[in-house]
Amino acid sequence: MPSIPREQYPRLEFHFSALKFRVAVVTWSIVVLPTLLFKAYGAMVPTEYWPNPVAAVIAWCLAIALCLAANTYLLSRMDMSRPVLIIGPDGVSGRSFPAAHLPWTAIQKIKFYETGQFRQTKLIVFRTFEAKERDVTMSPTPLAGVKPKELYETLKAYHRRFGPEPEVNSDDGSVRTYDSSSWTGVEDD
């Protein structure tokens, strides 16, 4: 099997999707926070002391504007330019990993799971040699511009190229042995 040069496997960086956070901030600011503010106001002040309807609408609009401004400010403080996941020839690193860096040689297997009623929850699980009882799990859903299944296939390609070599189990040491799924392409569950 010809060896693919290391240069064909560049360092890939993935970032959070800012659009998802912005939609969440707008929804939270327009619907949830003003509703909570007025529920709290209604609980503290008796209903007979409510101002006229025009003043209530103005107060609602001010509450929405205040919540939107505060949440937009908090969103601007988030660093969306810093990569969340980095894939390279030396391994995988990311904010969600317990260790700062996970080298390819420490990863035994990579699995992809889709769960939920409509298969909306996607997980990529890294089984390491050191901690078989505690796998490293990441959710690729909030990443920008990447489909979770494509990210999984990219991780598998990097792992095949830079991961651990299969064990040599023959008498003369010339034949390498593989897991049954590694030569068939079928994943064992």
Which three-class secondary structure state does DSSP give residue 31? helix
| Average of per-residue pLDDT values in the chain | 77
Torsion of CA 126, 109, 87, 85, to 10 degrees: -10
The tens digit of pLDDT for each residue in 34-44 reads 778 777 777 77
Token representation of residue 151: 């990210």
User: How many other C-beta atoms can be found within 10 angstroms of the C-beta atom of residue 118?
Assistant: 6
Token representation of residue 78: 């988030």
Q: Is pLDDT above 60 for 187? A: no
Shortest CA distance to 179 belongs to which of 127, 108, 131, 84?
Answer: 108
* Domain 84-164, CATH number (from 1.10.3470, 2.30.29, 1.10.357, 2.60.40): 2.30.29
Q: Is pLDDT above 70 for 9? A: yes
Instruction: Give me the mean pLDDT over the 121-130 stretch.
Output: 84
Shortest CA distance to 144 belongs to which of 10, 11, 22, 18?
Answer: 18
Cβ(71)–Cβ(25) below 8 Å: yes
Position 189 scores a pLDDT of: 44
Residues of the chain with CATH 2.30.29: 84-164
Token representation of residue 147: 């489909």
The tens digit of pLDDT for each residue in 53-108 reads 777 778 778 888 888 888 888 878 877 788 888 899 999 988 767 667 889 988 88
Cβ(86)–Cβ(12) below 8 Å: yes
Token match 């997980």: residue?
Answer: 123
Torsion sign over Cα 154, 156, 160, 162: positive
Cβ(163)–Cβ(127) below 8 Å: no
